[in-house]
Amino acid sequence: MVKKELTETEIAECIPDLWQPLTPEQRALLVKNFTIQRYKKNEIIYCEGETPMHLMCLLSGKVKIFKEGVGGRSQIIRVIKDQEYFAYRAYFAEENFVTAAAAFEPCTICLIPMPIIMQLLRENNELAIFFIRQLSIDLGVSDERTVSLTQKHIRGRLAESLLFLKETYGVEEDQSTLSIYLSREDLANLSNMTTSNAIRTLSNFATEKLITIDGRKIKIIEEDKLKKISKIG
Amino acid sequence: MVKKELTETEIAECIPDLWQPLTPEQRALLVKNFTIQRYKKNEIIYCEGETPMHLMCLLSGKVKIFKEGVGGRSQIIRVIKDQEYFAYRAYFAEENFVTAAAAFEPCTICLIPMPIIMQLLRENNELAIFFIRQLSIDLGVSDERTVSLTQKHIRGRLAESLLFLKETYGVEEDQSTLSIYLSREDLANLSNMTTSNAIRTLSNFATEKLITIDGRKIKIIEEDKLKKISKIG
DNA sequence: ATAAAACCGTGTTATAGAGCACAAAGGTAG
DNA sequence: CTACCTTTGTGCTCTATAACACGGTTTTAT
């Protein structure tokens, strides 16, 4: 556990949504219980079955939340980007983790003990409403995802994933290269298909000039057509 | 809209989780804004795309939350039982409904305008924490469901649905007949399969003596074996 | 009572996508 | 540099499940 001494201003910049509604005393409590942790590429952040202890906020890097299904097949449930909070759901539900989390690339994460968060929640309604909103958004996404993953065909699912990655992590300076470089396997696990089908479908998209691929670099060329493929399933 | 005059005691019994944390003034506000609505069997309660206006609590009956996917195929996302709250997620997320709701059987539902709920939330932390907990539980269920529906085979999915229905709505006096009578189509939509496959798999289960079927009455005989089938997928 | 519609059951066919197997390429470690 | 492992790519086979067709039955509406 790398623990750095940070100023209040630095912390405020890390976790603005959490920080803003707090009173000075509440902020002081947060500062006292604030730690920072680094994770290497592909390192596991938490595992299925573990007991949740901390709220986490991703300060830099990219994280996947996933779940091992039948026969060891892994399904990526959602991905986390900069300044997103995670790992708190299970604590609120009084459960152990039903998912696992791992770093796509080197990450910096800040941790705040969940009991501290609970205390703040009891004192501060704006904070509670923040979490209600976050959970509500995530639940809506999860419901939509259930239907997409079960009903769309392979091309639709992969197209959706590509668009989703663009929306979530954005693009590089050329405005079209996805700024996340995933392995074909991760792409498959995100889109509920086998690795070979992810490879095949990806190169189909490339021959159809919807995208270009250069190793793990994916450039989106025909976004509208991808949207159409994603929509019709 | 059937509006009955109810006493505070009656209301308190309808919505204990919501009622209990409130102060007398908050309770008075709730009483003033409390309405009751009845729905017939198969009646739509709300539609995809509509703007959420009320928190709903199911007082009696059974409700399905579902979503139309590609090609009109409908997927049941979750089901609501007695004293469960629903229809509030979209409002909290500041979205329109992404799902629809319909009555499996005749229902009584109480409605409370969401702005009233928001006001209570701002005043009452226990209430906020109640919603945080509910949403967290639902999100966990939704995540698990995504993996089950995508990875398990037909038999596993149907077995899971049967067990889930038993757990949710319980059984009749004989301790084994499911107390919800679903059409084969609803059973299929719950388990992500076609109606013919639901019919086929159901009668397979019957010939294997795991269940007995008499029209829509389903009796669970070998719960352990069903659990095993559900688990291995 | 009778027509119409919805639902249930079964057989047949078609196909999307999983599951190999294997080769080439790229990365990493000693 | 060499050896080894991981990742990518391609072809082939096989199977789970969708899709369709049709006949019987039950429920609902008129």
Strand D within 7 A of B37 CB = no
Q: Is B121 an interface residue toward A (CB < 8 Å)?
A: yes
Nearest Cβ partner of B151 from A69, A93, A133? Answer: A69
pLDDT score recorded for residue A12: 86
Residue A87's closest CA among A155, A37, A122, A25? A37
Give per-residue pLDDT as tens, B118-161: 999 999 999 999 999 999 999 999 999 999 999 999 999 999 99
For chain A, what percent of residues have pLDDT higher than 90?
90
Give per-residue pLDDT as tens, A176-216: 999 999 999 999 999 999 999 999 999 999 999 999 999 99
* Residue B213 β-bridge partners: B218
SS (H, E, C) B53-122: CEEEEEEECCEEEEEECHHHCEEEEEEECCCCEECCHHHHCCCCCCCEEEECCCEEEEEEEHHHHHHHHH
Q: Which residues of chain A make contact with B122, given a CB cutoff of 8 A?
A: 125, 129
Three-state DSSP at B230 gives helix
Q: Can you list the residues of chain A whose pLDDT is less than 50?
A: 1-2
CA B141, chain centre distance (Å): 12
Strand D within 7 A of A20 CB = no
CB B85 within 8 A of CB B134: yes
Give per-residue pLDDT as tens, B165-224: 999 999 999 999 999 999 999 999 999 999 999 999 999 999 999 999 999 999 999 999
pLDDT band (50, 70, 90) for residue B4:
low
Residue of B nearest to A95 (CA): B137
Mean pLDDT of B39-58: 96
Structural domains of chain A ordered from first start: 8-149 (2.60.120.10), 152-232 (1.10.10.10)
Residue of A nearest to B117 (CA): A129
pLDDT score recorded for residue A13: 83
Dist. CA A171–CA B219, nearest whole Å: 55
pLDDT score recorded for residue B182: 97
Q: Which residues of chain A make contact with B152, given a CB cutoff of 8 A?
A: 69-70
Contacts of B99 (CB under 8 A, 6+ apart): A143, B48, B65, B66, B67, B77
pLDDT band (50, 70, 90) for residue B5:
low
| CB contact (8 A) between residue A75 and residue B147 | yes
Residue of B124, B137, B150 to mutate for A, most A C-beta atoms under 10 A = B150
pLDDT score recorded for residue A8: 82
Strand C within 7 A of B183 CB = yes
pLDDT score recorded for residue B71: 80
pLDDT at B1 over 60: no
Q: Is B115 an interface residue toward A (CB < 8 Å)?
A: no
CA B216 / C1′ D23 distance in Å: 21
Strand C within 7 A of B202 CB = yes
pLDDT score recorded for residue A91: 98
pLDDT score recorded for residue A5: 67
Three-state DSSP at A80 gives strand
Query: Which of residues 37 through 96 in chain A touch B, CB cutoff 8 A?
Result: 67, 69-71, 73, 75, 77, 88-90, 92-95
Which strand C nucleotides have any atom less than 7 A from protein CB atoms? 7-12, 16-21, 27
pLDDT at B102 over 70: yes
HSE on the CB side for A167, CA within 13 Å? 9
* Residue B46 β-bridge partners: B101
Residue A3: count other Cβ atoms within 10 Å of its Cβ.
9
Mean pLDDT of B54-58: 98
